[in-house]
Amino acid sequence: MVLEPDDVVVNTPPTFGMYSFDCLVNGGKLVDVPRTDGPGFDIDVAAIKTAVLAHRAKVLFLTSPNNPDGTVIKPADLAELLELPVLVVLDEAYIEFCEIQESRMQDVLKRENLIVLRTFSKRAALAGLRVGYCAAPLWLMDYLWRVKQPYNVSVVAELAACAALDNPKYLQDVKDMLIQERQRLLSKLEEFDFLNPYPSHSNFLLVKVDGDAEKLKNYLALKGIMVRYYSGPPQLASCIRVSVGKPEHTDALVLALSAYSA
């Protein structure tokens, strides 16, 4: 809807890979403004402003909490970037797991250049059903309706999404248990001298491995424990990402790590 060939999208890696993918598929040009190294993985506000203005960017993608590190964007930083002449797309796929910030969806009523993306995939565990949604300014909605596919949500997905909306207490209970287990998992991983887990406001933990991260990933796979391994970019080299599960999942991971020889 937005990009003409050679229009610029500003991206802030490391982050969700589909922003760059979709930019290139649509003939756009990608300008990466890397985040700082951990543990903060903060966005570089000054460098983003320079890139947006220098390249007359059409779109700026931001993610909060970010994937794969789980950090959030400071409200003051977002407010500063919303003053730029660019369409800001804020991806809040993991916002339900954040205990220190609320969604910025209400800000769309006051900001003509803000789109907020949300999903049922994470909190309601409907990832395979592809139920996402957005809040966009009224001036954009007419164009969004023009490009939207007529059969974009299946009957099964619609029923599942409605079922999730009908069970707010269940979803809140699951969220509370997951946040509690996230903290327990973090404390357990911190006990291993070859692991350096980063604090997270999402449903996963990014963990720096002191040693061969791929070897650790393969070892855990043989134990029936699947984790995400990163060989790059530089900020993520030698990292794994561990999803937060039930207490017994944490216990199984800790048991396997205790028997691991780095």
Q: Do domains 8-165 and 180-258 have the same CATH topology?
A: no
Measured from the Cβ of residue 185, the count of other Cβ atoms closer than 10 Å reads 25
Read off the pLDDT band of 92 (50, 70, 90). very high
What is the tens place of the pLDDT at every residue in 8-49?
Answer: 999 999 999 999 999 999 999 999 999 987 667 999 999 999
What is the tens place of the pLDDT at every residue in 129-166?
Answer: 999 999 999 999 999 999 888 888 899 999 999 999 99
Q: How far apart are CA 33 and CA 14, in angstroms?
A: 9
pLDDT at 79: 97
Mention the CATH class of domain 180-258. alpha beta
pLDDT at 40: 78
Q: What is the domain partition of the chain in residue ranges? A: 8-165, 180-258
Q: How far apart are CA 32 and CA 29, in angstroms?
A: 10
Mention the CATH class of domain 8-165. alpha beta
pLDDT at 38: 62
Q: Quick check: helix, strand or coil at residue 248?
A: helix
pLDDT at 60: 98
Contact 115, 87 (CB under 8 A): yes
Read off the pLDDT band of 99 (50, 70, 90). very high
Whether residue 262 has pLDDT greater than 80? no
Structure tokens at 42: 């903060």
Q: Do you find a cis peptide bond into 5, omega within 30 degrees of 0? A: no
pLDDT at 37: 75
Mean pLDDT of the chain: 94
What is the tens place of the pLDDT at every residue in 222-237?
Answer: 999 999 999 888 889 9
